[in-house]
Amino acid sequence: MTTISNRNSPGGKEGSGIRSGRESTSAQFRTGRQSVVGDWQIIIKLGDSRSKKLHRYGTAYEALTVQGEKVFFGAISSNARTSTRALLEAMLEAVLTAKGQGFQQILVLSNSRSLLQTYKYNTASDWLDSTRLTDLWFLNQNGVSCDVFWVPTVVVKDLRVVACLATRVPMHFCWFPSIGSYLL
C-alpha cells in the first residue's frame, strides 16, 4: 500500500494525492476508463466549435493511420441544436468515408463526453440522433468495427481551430492528400 502521511490532514490519513494500487484500480472502474488496445486500422479525431452569434456548429475530422499518415480531412458547418448532434453528423460522415476507403477497424477520438455517452449507451435525445446512431450501429453489424474514446482537448486542439472557421461560413468539405480536395 503506497500512501503518504500528512501531518496537516485529520488523523494523519492519506495526503498529497498518492493512492494505493487497490484504490486506483477501484477508481479506474468507477470512472469508466477504457483501454484503447485493439487492432485499429485508422484513427479519426473529431473536434467541434460553436458560434453563439450565428447559431451554428462547426466540426472538423481528421483520419490518420496507426503510423500517423493523414488519410483524409473534413470540415462541416451545421445548424444542429446540440454539439452532440453536430459531432454525430461528422462522425457518421467520417466513418462512411473511411469505409469507402476500405478501412474496417475504426477508432474515433473526441473530447466530448456527451458524444461518448450517447454512442456507448445508445441514448439519443431525439429522432435525429437516434437515426444517426442506428446508421452507426448498422455499420457495426455489417463488418465495420467502430469505437469512440474520450481524449483531452489538447489532442483535438488543431481541429477545433478549423471547426471555428467552419462556424463562420456554411461549408461541407473533404480533402484527400493523394487526390486533392472537393466539396461535398
Which CATH number goes with the domain that contains 88?
Answer: 3.30.420.10
21 & 86 share domain:
no
3 & 63 share domain:
no
Q: pLDDT for 93-121, tens place per residue?
A: 999 999 999 999 999 999 999 999 999 99
pTM, to two decimals? 0.75
Q: Work out the mean pLDDT of the chain and round it to a whole number.
A: 80
* Angle in degrees, 0-180, between the axes of helices 127-141 and 83-100, rounded to the nearest 10: 30
118 & 68 share domain:
yes
From the number of C-beta atoms within 10 Å of its C-beta (0-12, 13-18, 19+), residue 153 rates as exposed
Provide mean pLDDT across the span 32-44. 78
13 & 70 share domain:
no
CA angle, 65 then 69 then 74, to 5°: 85
88 grid coordinates: 454525430
* Angle in degrees, 0-180, between the axes of helices 113-121 and 83-100, rounded to the nearest 10: 70
Nearest to 119 by CA among 153, 157, 85: 85
Coil, helix or strand at residue 109: strand
81 & 19 share domain:
no
Say how many domains are in the chain: 2
Euclidean distance between CA atoms 35 and 41, whole angstroms: 16
5 & 83 share domain:
no
**What sign does the dihedral 155-161-164-169 (CA atoms) show?**
negative
78 & 96 share domain:
yes
DSSP count for the chain of H helices, then E strands = 5, 7
Q: Is the pLDDT confidence value at 10 over 60?
A: no
Strands 105-110 and 145-150: parallel
Euclidean distance between CA atoms 76 and 28, whole angstroms: 35
> Domain containing 84: what range?
42-183
92 & 125 share domain:
yes
CB atoms within 10 A of CB 88: 27
142 grid coordinates: 455489417
The answer to which of 34-48, 82-96, 123-137 has the lowest mean pLDDT is: 34-48
Euclidean distance between CA atoms 70 and 56, whole angstroms: 27
pLDDT at 22: 37
Half-sphere exposure of 94 (CA within 13 A, CB side): 33
